[in-house]
Amino acid sequence: MYSKPAVLGCVIKGNISLTTGEHIHHVPGQKYFSSTVITPSKGERWFCSEAEALAAGWRRSKV
């Protein structure tokens, strides 16, 4: 099941790469932000800040 942010304003997408298993976060405006789908049942999640994503071990998308 795909999800929407549970908390208004928490729009950073924490995605897990299908090919490498890396935990990558995407911020609004990045190339793949709009096409990234968050599936909580696969361990993906939303973050309220980039600092929160980094602290949880998710690296920023390179593009």
Specify whether the backbone of 14 is left (phi greater than 0), alpha (psi in -120 to 50) or beta: beta
Tens of pLDDT, residue by residue, the chain (63 residues): 567 887 888 999 999 999 999 999 999 999 999 999 999 999 999 999 999 999 999 999 998
Strand partners for 62: none
pLDDT at 9: 86
- pTM listed for this prediction: 0.89
Q: What is the 3-state secondary structure (H, E, C) of 36-59?
A: CCCCHHHCCEEECCHHHHHHCCCE
| Sheet with strand 12-16: strands edge to edge | 45-47, 12-16, 23-26, 59-60
The span from the CA of 41 to the CA of 4, in Å, is 13
